[in-house]
Amino acid sequence: MPPATDIRAQIEALRPYLLRFASLQLRDAAAAEDAVQEALLAALAGEASFAGRANLRTWLTGILKHKIVDAIRRQAREPLLPQESEDAPDDFDALFERNGHWSERPARWGNPDGALEQAQFFRALEACLERLPARTAQAFMLREHLGLETSEICKELEITPTHCWVMLYRARMTLRDCLQQTWFGK
Amino acid sequence: MMLTCKETTRLVSQGLDRELAFGERVALRVHLAICIGCRRTRRQMMFLRRAMRELVEIDLKAS
Ligand SMILES: [Zn+2]
A130 touches chain B (CB under 8 A): no
A122 touches chain B (CB under 8 A): yes
Q: What is the pLDDT of residue A53?
A: 66
Report CB contact under 8 Å: B45, A108.
no
pLDDT band (50, 70, 90) for residue A140: very high
pLDDT over 90 at A1, yes or no: no
Closest CA to A115 of B36, B54, B7: B54
Arithmetic mean of pLDDT over chain A:
88
- Specify whether the CB–CB gap between A168 and A151 falls below 8 A: no
Q: Structural domain boundaries of chain B?
A: 5-62
Per-residue pLDDT of chain B (63 residues; tens, 9 = 90+): 689 999 999 999 999 999 999 999 999 999 999 999 999 999 999 999 999 999 998 866 554
Q: Which residue of B has its CA nearest to A175?
A: B48
For residues A17 and A38, what is the distance between their CA atoms, to the nearest angstrom?
15
Report CB contact under 8 Å: A109, B36.
no
Report CB contact under 8 Å: B47, A161.
no
Strand partners, A96: A102
Q: What is the pLDDT of residue B42?
A: 98
pLDDT band (50, 70, 90) for residue A79: low
For residues A20 and A43, what is the distance between their CA atoms, to the nearest angstrom?
18
- Specify whether the CB–CB gap between A135 and A157 falls below 8 A: yes
For residues A59 and B56, what is the distance between their CA atoms, to the nearest angstrom?
16
A113 touches chain B (CB under 8 A): yes
Counting one residue from chain A and one from chain B, the pairs whose CB atoms sit within 8 A come to 95
Q: What is the pLDDT of residue A3?
A: 63
A88 touches chain B (CB under 8 A): no
* Helix or strand (DSSP H, E) at B18: none
Q: What is the pLDDT of residue A8?
A: 82
Please report the sign of the dihedral spanned by the C-alpha atoms of residue B6, residue B18, residue B44, residue A171.
positive
Q: What is the pLDDT of residue A94?
A: 82
Q: What is the pLDDT of residue B60?
A: 61
For residues A107 and A121, what is the distance between their CA atoms, to the nearest angstrom?
18
pLDDT, tens digit (0-9, with 9 covering 90-100), for A146-185: 999 999 999 999 899 999 999 999 999 999 999 999 999 9
pLDDT band (50, 70, 90) for residue A2: low
Domains of chain A: 4-77 (1.10.1740.10), 84-184 (1.10.10.10)
Q: What is the pLDDT of residue A186?
A: 84
For residues A55 and A78, what is the distance between their CA atoms, to the nearest angstrom?
36
* Helix or strand (DSSP H, E) at A88: none
Shortest CA gap B31–chain A (Å): 11
Q: What is the pLDDT of residue A6?
A: 80
pLDDT, tens digit (0-9, with 9 covering 90-100), for A82-124: 566 555 555 677 889 989 999 989 999 989 999 999 999 999 9
* Helix or strand (DSSP H, E) at A108: none
Which residues of chain A are within 8 Å of residue B16 when distances are taken between CB atoms?
168, 172
- Tell me the whole-structure pTM to 2 decimals: 0.90
Task: Calculate helix-pair angle for B36-62, A161-179, nearest 10 degrees.
Answer: 80
Q: What is the pLDDT of residue B12?
A: 98
Nearest CB to B36: which of A105, A150, A176? A105
Q: What is the pLDDT of residue B62?
A: 56
